[in-house]
Structure 1
Amino acid sequence: MAQAVIELTKKIISILMNNTIVVGCDIGGSHISTALINLVDKTLIESTFNRQTVNSHDAISAIISSWASCIRSSLAKGDLQKAAIGIAIPGPFNYEEGISLMKGQNKYEALYGVNVKQLLAKELEIESASIKFINDAASFLQGEMFAGAGTTFKKAVGLTLGTGLGSAFFLNGHAIDANLWSTPFRGGIAEDYLSGRWIKNTYCSRSGNTIDSVKAIGELVSTDTVATDVFREFGETLGEFIFDHLLPKNPEGLILGGNIAKAHALFLAHTQQLLHDRSAALPIAIADLGERAAIFGAADALKQCPQFS
């Protein structure tokens, strides 16, 4: 009996040690980024970070090979042969089974209906149970809650403000895609008003100028009243959206990410003023993990795999 207990204890310790270091991956339409994450001290092992371009219009075997190559590189830099792998990837996707459902998205068309979890596991010579997929928007929030701006919250909502609008809810240690981009709003949908497209189109329409980036418009704020007004209106619109669609969810806080969030000094005060005027308040934190939030989130999501229980 004593020997059996000793062997069981050794097995448990071995599992815990093996699960301390995992691979976090962020797959986009044209790239994959990977790194080893220490789940105990919540750090990214910088020497293992790797980013590679991916031709998302390539054949199945070429795409899988490209992903596997990047993952192997991070493992090798960490002197590891194998580890559990968490992968953030955009939808539509069957995250539980690892089957791509992307069609008409101008990326990864060859993978439609394919069980990429099984193919990737075979390529890496590991069990498919060691791989977990998570929605990219959810992974952003999962990462910030795990090791970034959201560590003081237990229930939160995340918004990524960029070319489009990403969103996620976090509750009970788990983030899910909220799909708020298509929420009915002002006769259209939320993404029509809370995106870089709105800022660029509105500024160009009102000023008569042609500027192709939100960053360039932001740089005009100190001398251009049209740019100032556009960011003020954007901030107020965000406040209205928070009041109407986020506060009813009773979150403890909001995490703002994406490239537009980097310009929060130009609009966030107007967001908070609108909420104040409506006798409402919500702590708002700016994401601080940058593009690596999804890597952290994908790694942390591995805790929900059977091998971690």
Structure 2
Amino acid sequence: MMYSIGVDIGGSHITSGMFEHMNKQLIDSTIVTLPVDNGASKSDILSQWTEAIQQTMSISDVAHIEGIGLAVPGPFDYYNGICLINGVQKFDSLYKVNVREELSSRLNFPGDNIRFINDAASFSIGEAKFGEASAFRRCVAITLGTGFGSCFLVDGQPIVNGPDIPLQGVLYDKYFDGHMADDLFSTRGLINSFDQLTGKKADSVLDIYQMAKENTDACQVFRNFGSELGKFLKPHLTLFNAEVLVLGGNISKAYEYFGDDLQEQLPGIKISVSKLNEYAALIGGASLLEKDYYSELSTTLKLMN
């Protein structure tokens, strides 16, 4: 059997888990999540990352691990393993650090078998290869949370350039109704909408979600969110000839309140809410260790940032 480790690097945590490729199974008992201080020193951040991966290795007790695939936010030189995040008040201490070499040394693991990919792309690969989207050729996956992530895929392969997609498959920086998409289709976007509609402050999307069960204003905020998101996505999905749209991220858990309005704007496109959730990124990361898949993906990784 072939085993590899999938890792999801978040802004405030790291999650690591062992994936068994033949049965396409993420082994629940090996999943480790640890907090990460993204403002810490290079040494402290890498130590926290290393600790999570080492715990997964120790729990799994697998004799041979094929490699480690990490889903990391950008900007990042994914092919060479160099962090390019700078000036956004997170992971600043890792700017221009060769993370592959650092982890290879700390884990005593061959650097060639430590691989990296964009976090939204990794989520998308997990969904396109192993989720409900696996039944479709042309897939768009978006993550709705602190930010607005996106990825366009054909036959499970992320596409980062071409006439039918935005550059890098990125949507967060596109404008809709005079506002950047990342400011609208995110946690802060929903909280701002609630404030504008009610004149009241909500602390989190969860607060609005819990209110929506009996509060018509909270319900309307989600309905507006779904409708506006659909209007924004429609030209991009139409140009790409998307067959399925996959939703991930914490906001997708409120789909019951915005799904109908989103679907109304996207007739003919199947909408699927991720059942793999945060585990999709772990599976996508582990998939980087499949030789045939990685050989096809490597050209894209050189272009991905």
Q: Which TM-score applies when normalising by structure 1?
A: 0.87
Secondary structure of the 2:278 match is helix
The 1:222–1:130 alpha-carbon spacing in structure 2 relative to 1, beyond 3 Å, is closer
Secondary structure of the 1:206 match is helix
For residues 219-248 of structure 1, the C-alpha deviation after alignment (integer angstroms, 9 at most, x for no partner) is 223433322222221111122122222221
The answer as to whether partners of 1:82 and 1:126 remain within 8 angstroms in 2 is no
Q: Does 1:236 align with 2:219?
A: no
Q: How far apart are 1:273 and its partner, in Å? A: 2.0
Q: How far apart are 1:82 and its partner, in Å? A: 5.0
Q: Does 1:165 align with 2:148?
A: yes
Using the aligned pairs only, state the percent identity. Answer: 39
The 1:220–1:52 alpha-carbon spacing in structure 2 relative to 1, beyond 3 Å, is closer
**Residues of 2 paired with 1:65 and 1:235: CA distance?**
40
- The gaps in structure 1 that reach 5 residues or longer are 1-16
Q: How far apart are 1:81 and its partner, in Å? A: 5.4
What's the counterpart of residue 117 of structure 2?
A: 134
What's the counterpart of residue 211 of structure 1?
A: 202
1:267 to 246, 253, 258: 258
What's the counterpart of residue 46 of structure 1?
A: 28
Question: Counterparts in 2 of 1:188-207, with a 5 A limit?
Answer: 188-207=179-198
1:30 to 2, 8, 12: 12
For residues 102-156 of structure 1, the C-alpha deviation after alignment (integer angstroms, 9 at most, x for no partner) is 1112222111111110111121112211011010011111111222232212220
Question: Counterparts in 2 of 1:66-77, with a 5 A limit?
Answer: 66-77=48-59
**Residues of 1 paired with 2:26 and 2:173: CA distance?**
33
Name the count of aligned residue pairs: 286
**Residues of 1 paired with 2:150 and 2:56: CA distance?**
29
Secondary structure of the 1:180 match is coil
Q: Does 1:152 align with 2:143?
A: no
Q: Which amino acid aligns with 1:143?
A: G
Which of structures 1 and 2 has the bigger CA Rg? 1
**Residues of 2 paired with 1:231 and 1:65: CA distance?**
40
Question: Counterparts in 2 of 1:6-17, with a 5 A limit?
Answer: 17=1
**Residues of 1 paired with 2:27 and 2:219: CA distance?**
41
Q: How far apart are 1:282 and its partner, in Å? A: 0.4
**Residues of 2 paired with 1:74 and 1:298: CA distance?**
14
What's the counterpart of residue 277 of structure 2?
A: 290
**Residues of 1 paired with 2:200 and 2:4: CA distance?**
49
- The gaps in structure 2 that reach 5 residues or longer are 160-167, 299-305
Q: Does 1:256 align with 2:239?
A: no
Secondary structure of the 1:105 match is coil
**Residues of 2 paired with 1:193 and 1:107: CA distance?**
22
The answer as to whether partners of 1:75 and 1:81 remain within 8 angstroms in 2 is no
What's the counterpart of residue 79 of structure 1?
A: 61
User: What's the C-alpha RMSD, in Å, of the aligned pairs?
Assistant: 2.0
**Residues of 2 paired with 1:63 and 1:210: CA distance?**
34
Of stretches 77-86 and 158-167 in structure 1, the one that deviates more from structure 2 is 77-86
For residues 72-113 of structure 1, the C-alpha deviation after alignment (integer angstroms, 9 at most, x for no partner) is 211121113552000001011000000000111222211111
For residues 39-93 of structure 1, the C-alpha deviation after alignment (integer angstroms, 9 at most, x for no partner) is 1211111121111122222332332222222112111211135520000010110
Q: Which TM-score applies when normalising by structure 2?
A: 0.88
